[in-house]
Amino acid sequence: MISRYSLPEMEKIWSEESKFEKWLAIELAVCDAWAELGRIPLAAVQRIKAKVRLDLNRIKEIEKTTRHDILAFVRGINETLGADSKFIHLGLTSSDVKDTALALQMRDAVDLIINDLGRLNKVLAAQAVEYKETIMVGRTHGVHAEPVTWGLKLAIWYQEVKRHLARMKGVRETINTGQFSGAVGSYASLDPRIEELVCRKLGLEPAVISNQILQRDRHADLLNNLALIAASLEKFTTEIRNLQRTDILEVEEGFRKGQQGSSAMPHKKNPIVCERISGLARVVRSYVIPGLENIALWHERDLTHSSVERIIIPDSTILVNYMINKFRLVLDELVINKDKMRDNLERTHGLVFSQHVMLALINKGLTREKAYQLAQCGALKAWDQALSYQEVIKGDPEINQYLSTEEIRNIFDYNIFLKELDYIYGKLDLSGKNGEEGA
């Protein structure tokens, strides 16, 4: 992934240095395990650890000849070991090292994303409480419907991110798996105890069964869940982008001192970060299909998955890490235009209360069809003639047979839409005490 969309901590996980360091850690752990089983002299392992060196440039130079990255790596470190080099990579096949190292990298990346989601949810929880009663119009089909609150939107997002946290914890268990079973997975050249010893040392679960590689449904599971996170972030940012439109302008991305919105139009303040996140979500989603296609390989393995994974797994985790952190900053700097929310809410002259007029008439004994017809008739008149819906209802002689002036006044009270917020919020845990939400 290009550096523009990479944050340092995640970028380091997927660096060449990190990969080779994990390969070396695995090779040394295998030596330890062989020594524990009496196959390698302990003194040899101690000499290996004291002398071994990683020279990335030398490894890359060797790979030009071998055209095989693991062989180049093994030869590169063996050049520093002398006679003890015979104990390196003993009984292993390339995928034992590469798949297990990839599992370690994926685990580190998932841990970082879990932490990112927790920090995001801490912001969402705080703002959901802060804006709990910040009333605004709710829209269905893009058309004014009934009032909601900005806090309610954020509470919905909070609960969605909470589900992502739960899913990512499950994915972490799935991908936290190593294997050391040799060529085709038969343990013909490896004692099965090596797998158990090395995986325990690395904090991994040994694969219950494998062929030459770890099965790729695990990796597809990770990619699917990263795509879900990206889709939610696109949903959140699309809402902000829509609400920042000039004709709505209920929220706005922060606009920092010295920032410029357009090379041509000096007045422009655009939701550029939300647009960037929405665009990057398309990239993350695009990696799901190749991840699924990597599951079906020939026989005990082929190499078609390898080149794909070098791109899609690092890139998707790097992008999601970047997107979550950028969105959290958007929320931190977001401008909430409460007056504009109220102005927009009142643009339809009270039509948002039409359902409550209908329900009041039903409560007086009218059929639903009759109550709907009376409420709609008044609503259409108010809209067509730009009149107050409340005044139209008050002036309707048929409605006056059922509803008093005081009852009508009580219907047109925005507190109707706030009265159940305590019930809604009561179903949520916004305290930050539930898992990593408050991390």
Q: Confirm whether 307 is domain-assigned.
A: yes
Q: Confirm whether 420 is domain-assigned.
A: no
What confidence score (pLDDT) does residue 436 get? 46
328 three-class SS = helix
Q: How many domains does the chain have?
A: 3
Contacts of 272 (CB under 8 A, 6+ apart): 253, 261
First to last CA, the chain: 27
Q: Confirm whether 426 is domain-assigned.
A: no
Tokens standing for 125? 């929880």
Residues 245, 297 within the same domain: yes
What confidence score (pLDDT) does residue 432 get? 55
CATH of the domain at 198: 1.20.200.10
What confidence score (pLDDT) does residue 433 get? 55
Q: Confirm whether 218 is domain-assigned.
A: yes
Give the Cα separation of 418 and 233 in Å (integer).
Answer: 27
What confidence score (pLDDT) does residue 260 get? 72
Q: Which of 15, 186, 189, 262 is an active site residue?
A: 262
E-assigned strand segments in 348-411: none
Give me the domain span that covers residue 36.
8-90
- Give, for 125, the enclosing helix (H) or strand (E): helix 94-130
What confidence score (pLDDT) does residue 270 get? 87
Residues 340, 355 within the same domain: no
Tokens standing for 153? 């939107």
CATH of the domain at 373: 1.10.40.30
Residues 123, 166 within the same domain: yes
Residues 383, 235 within the same domain: no
What confidence score (pLDDT) does residue 435 get? 43
Q: How far is CA 320 from the centre of its chain?
A: 6
Catalytic (active site) residue 89: no
Residues 358, 275 within the same domain: no
Residues 141, 222 within the same domain: yes
Residues 165, 302 within the same domain: yes
From first to last of its 439 residues, the chain has per-residue pLDDT tens of: 688 999 999 999 999 999 999 999 999 999 999 999 999 999 999 999 999 999 999 999 999 999 999 999 999 999 999 999 999 999 999 999 999 999 999 999 999 999 999 999 999 999 999 999 999 999 999 999 999 999 999 999 999 999 999 999 999 999 999 999 999 999 999 999 999 999 999 999 999 999 999 999 999 999 999 999 999 999 999 999 999 999 999 999 987 777 777 777 877 788 899 999 999 999 999 999 999 999 999 999 999 899 999 999 999 999 999 999 999 999 999 999 999 999 999 999 999 999 999 999 999 999 999 999 999 999 999 999 999 999 999 999 999 999 999 999 999 999 999 999 999 999 998 875 544 443 3
Q: Confirm whether 69 is domain-assigned.
A: yes
Q: Confirm whether 71 is domain-assigned.
A: yes
Residue where a domain stops, chosen among 37, 55, 90: 90
Residues 334, 366 within the same domain: no
Residues 118, 225 within the same domain: yes
CATH of the domain at 79: 1.10.275.10
Catalytic (active site) residue 141: yes
What confidence score (pLDDT) does residue 261 get? 75
Q: Which of 141, 263, 267, 307 is an active site residue?
A: 141
Residue 284 vs residues 9, 107, 321, 331, 386: alpha-carbon distances, Å:
19, 18, 11, 22, 47
Residue where a domain stops, chosen among 68, 90, 112: 90
Q: Confirm whether 1 is domain-assigned.
A: no
Residues 169, 290 within the same domain: yes
Q: Confirm whether 377 is domain-assigned.
A: yes
Residues 82, 205 within the same domain: no
Residues 183, 106 within the same domain: yes
